[in-house]
Amino acid sequence: MFKDPFARLGLDREVLSVSQLNSRARVLLEDVFAQVWVEGEISNLAKPASGHLYFTLKDGQAQVRCALFRQHASRVRQALRDGLAVKVRGKVSLFEGRGDYQLILDSVEPAGDGALRLAFEALKERLAAEGMFAAERKRPLPAHPQRIGIVSSPTGAVIRDIVSVFKRRAPQVELTLIPTAVQGREATAQIVRALQLADRQGFDALILARGGGSLEDLWCFNEEPVARALAACQTPVVSAVGHETDVSIADFVADVRAPTPSAAAELLAPHSADLRQRLDGLHRQLLLRMRERLARERLRLEACSRRLRHPGERLRQQAQRLDDLDLRLRRAYVIAQNRRRDRLAHLDTRLAGQHPGRQLALLRQRLEQLAERLPRVMQRQLKERQQRLAGTVQTLQIVSPLATLGRGYSILLDERGHAVRSAAEVANGQKLIARLAEGELAVRVLDNHQEPTTLSLLD
């Protein structure tokens, strides 16, 4: 038998394992929320091979995971898909394997306003992306307003409730009604004109108000022209459309959202004594309700702890875990395939970068550059060598004996072509060749004057 789980953990400091904690939390949730109806929009729908269905049910502020097992999924008449608005019935439970809070469903029904909710979410996302819901563009409400404009229908309980609150809390405030239709085809255009007119009147604040109704009845407050007219207002605007649970696009664009028209009037005409008295009352009610709820749930918990759990619970937990592992395996396979595909593309890019055609193009370009440079280099080197040859020829001419011959001298050569440098190298009667600047002469040595010669006195 389980005792009060909160008192037990708080006083005895019992240390639980993770599985024990999840098991106790599951039992507690299933006992408290044995059967609930929840309305929301389907997203992240998964259909594994087991036939079970898993999806997330969400609204504008929160989401919860849902499991619809095969025996109940077969009774759903409408094909489920992401974005579909539905009403579901089931018990609140806990998937112990992951510690996930979830709904175990036994019935799924379509919601009548699914299309409108999809349009609502689409416009909401688009305007949010433009920054129309940003906190920094919100204007604070005046602390002590003197003139307030009310954009609402002149008939009905809404305007009477607002006037009544101001008479009771702030009778000195001047109220002005800017009448407009708040439902029907003409309502959107009339609300836009009324907001524009009220914004030019110099009011300290405006109240855009309407009573409760269905989503279709409140749809004019979800139209884009109304949202843009609110965003263009220079006067602070309090949106009080519908009941506390109703949410419209006008609530997001306005500077302040009030849950009801009367609450909007109280925001602009606050009474500290009333607020303090109400807070004290709510605090007392909360304490009383908490004690009653804890005592009642303690009795239910003790009674439920004596009951034997059907093994089907464990089987469903394991089946859900198996489906979870199957989904994880499929995701891992897809991720691995994408990685291999990316690597193949990377290698293909590298291979294309190493293609010989690119190298050949570079070499061809280099060859063309060298072919263009070769004639210039050859001409330059030929010119340099011609200049060097001319200089060498000039130097040679300076030292050449031919220049000496040109001045009237000659060179004697013997039969072997050797130059004769001394008279002792030749003999009398030897033939020599005398080389002149122009041509040669054959001469004979008559006397080399190496031996004494007797001259005839008669000669």
Q: In the chain, where are the structural domains located?
A: 18-110, 116-270, 405-445
How confident is residue 308, by pLDDT bands cut at 50, 70 and 90?
low
pLDDT at 6 over 80: no
What local confidence, expressed as pLDDT, does residue 271 receive?
Answer: 65
Average the pLDDT over 307-316 and give the result.
Answer: 73
Average pLDDT of the residues of the chain: 84
How confident is residue 94, by pLDDT bands cut at 50, 70 and 90?
confident
Please identify which residue in the block is written with the tokens 């340099």: 384
The sign of the torsion formed by the CA atoms of 334, 335, 338, 340 equals negative
Using the 8-state DSSP alphabet, how is residue 80 labeled?
P
Tens of pLDDT along 206-246?
999 998 877 777 889 999 999 999 999 999 999 998 887 77
pLDDT at 340 over 90: yes
385-393 contacts: CB < 8 A, separation 24 or more?
none
What local confidence, expressed as pLDDT, does residue 2 receive?
Answer: 46
Tens of pLDDT along 95-134?
888 888 889 898 887 775 555 676 788 788 889 999 988 9
What local confidence, expressed as pLDDT, does residue 255 receive?
Answer: 92
Which CATH number does 18-110 carry?
A: 2.40.50.140
Element holding 209 (H helix, E strand) = strand 205-210
From first CA to last CA, the distance across the chain in angstroms is 176
What local confidence, expressed as pLDDT, does residue 1 receive?
Answer: 42
Using the 8-state DSSP alphabet, how is residue 432 labeled?
E
What local confidence, expressed as pLDDT, does residue 237 receive?
Answer: 94
Using the 8-state DSSP alphabet, how is residue 222 labeled?
G
Q: Is residue 255 within 8 Å of 135, Cβ to Cβ? A: no
Tens of pLDDT along 380-399?
899 999 999 988 888 887 77
Average the pLDDT over 238-267 and give the result.
Answer: 88
What local confidence, expressed as pLDDT, does residue 11 receive?
Answer: 45
Residues 6+ apart with CB under 8 A from 387: none
pLDDT at 443 over 70: yes
Tokens at residue 128, please? Answer: 């949010």
How confident is residue 203, by pLDDT bands cut at 50, 70 and 90?
very high
How confident is residue 78, by pLDDT bands cut at 50, 70 and 90?
low
What local confidence, expressed as pLDDT, does residue 12 receive?
Answer: 56
pLDDT at 148 over 80: yes
Tens of pLDDT along 14-27?
788 888 888 888 88
Residues 6+ apart with CB under 8 A from 195: 151, 206, 208, 226, 229, 230, 233, 237
The sign of the torsion formed by the CA atoms of 161, 163, 168, 173 equals positive
Tens of pLDDT along 187-199?
999 999 999 999 9
**CATH superfamily of the 116-270 domain:** Response regulator (3.40.50.2300)
Give the whole-number percent of the chain exceeding pLDDT 70. 90
Instruction: Answer yes or no: same fold for 18-110 and 116-270.
Output: no
Tokens at residue 385, please? Answer: 């060598």
Least confident among 278-287, 317-326, 444-453:
444-453
What local confidence, expressed as pLDDT, does residue 112 receive?
Answer: 59
Length of the chain: 459
DSSP SS3 for 83: coil
Question: CA 320, CA 53: separation in Å to the nearest integer?
Answer: 10
What local confidence, expressed as pLDDT, does residue 412 receive?
Answer: 86
pLDDT at 34 over 90: no
Tokens at residue 101, please? Answer: 């809070």
Question: CA 60, CA 125: separation in Å to the nearest integer?
Answer: 10
